Amino acid sequence: MRSVIKQIPNFITTLNLLSGIIATFFAIDGHLIWAGIFICAASVFDFADGLAARALKAYSEIGKQLDSLSDLVSFGIAPGAILFTLLEFSLFETNQPIHEISGEWYEWLILFSAFLIPVFGALRLAKFNVLPDNEPFFRGLPIPSNGIFWASLGLMLEFPKYHEYFQIIYSTKNLVILCVFMAGMMVINLPMFSLKVKNLRFKENWYRYLFLLLALVLLLAFNVYGLALVILLYIVLNVFFYLFKVKF
């Protein structure tokens, strides 16, 4: 029975992986809303497997490796597929099979910039796996945050409330800028605070509470649009804390 219980976190991790696979196929097929939904589902499973592992004390090297592989698919490859399709829409105003795309060499270069997301995501995970476990913060943007950011760009297409800004958000130039920026943030050595807490004391967690409060305001004010803003807020706060030497 104990051996079965120890597999519960790994089972949850496979649900993360499955969600990422489904999201990838939806993204390639041009269904970005469903791709975004399944990436968000993957992030829930990614959080739940760690929670289950700690609660059941079911840690294993296989679980660690499976978690990284699942994260690469769900928050690296699937977001890269979303970005590729968004670039297709911005360049050609349609989603089509890759072998049917007729573009200039620079348009292919723009499309292939989407591959930076899974490649840099893999580098980020590799670096995370070899860093000391005793650091109370992340180095670089956690790959699930990258996944949620691109998922939100898929989900926003379903909500036309701020439709007038779509031409700005989904322009080819801005998508490439966001791609390079997010890829770079995953591998940068910038310390970024974790939301995992040892206690609830305000003195030790004030920056976490500040982030959660501002994130709640953004989500209540902008709904789905707030998801991307929350990720950008997380990055900006960490840059601010680094410049003013706030210790985590």
pLDDT (tens digit per residue) in 198-214: 888 998 899 999 999 99
Strands, E assignment, 43-143: 137-139
Q: What is the pLDDT of residue 135?
A: 79
214 is a domain residue: no
Q: What is the pLDDT of residue 6?
A: 79
- Name residue 90's amino acid: S
Judged by DSSP in three states, 188 sits in coil
179 is a domain residue: yes
Q: What is the pLDDT of residue 5?
A: 74
**Measured between alpha carbons, how far is residue 38 from residues 12, 47, 56, 117, 241 in Å?**
14, 14, 26, 18, 32
Q: Identify the segments of the chain with pLDDT beneath 50.
A: none
148 is a domain residue: yes
**Measured between alpha carbons, how far is residue 126 from residues 63, 68, 187, 192 in Å?**
15, 8, 10, 17
CATH number (domain holding residue 144): 1.20.120.1760
Domain that holds residue 60: 2-195
Measure CA of the first residue to CA of the last residue in the chain; give whole Å.
40
Distance from C-alpha of 124 to C-alpha of 146, rounded to nearest angstrom: 11
**Measured between alpha carbons, how far is residue 211 from residues 118, 140, 214, 218, 237 in Å?**
27, 17, 5, 11, 8
Q: What is the pLDDT of residue 2?
A: 66
218 is a domain residue: no
Looking at the 3D structure of the chain, how many domains does it have?
1
* Chain segment 104-144, per-residue pLDDT in tens: 999 999 999 999 999 999 999 998 888 777 778 999 999 99
66 is a domain residue: yes
Global confidence as pTM = 0.93
Question: Distance between alpha carbon 11 and the CA centroid of its chain, in Å?
Answer: 21
232 is a domain residue: no
Q: What is the pLDDT of residue 30?
A: 93
151 is a domain residue: yes
Give me the phi and psi of 213, to 5 degrees please: -65, -50
Determine how β-strand 137-139 pairs with β-strand 191-193: antiparallel
Spatial contact of 10 and 32, defined as CB atoms under 8 Å apart: no
106 is a domain residue: yes
Residue in the structure block whose two tokens are 């679980």: 63
Q: What is the pLDDT of residue 61?
A: 82
Give me the phi and psi of 102, to 5 degrees please: -115, 100
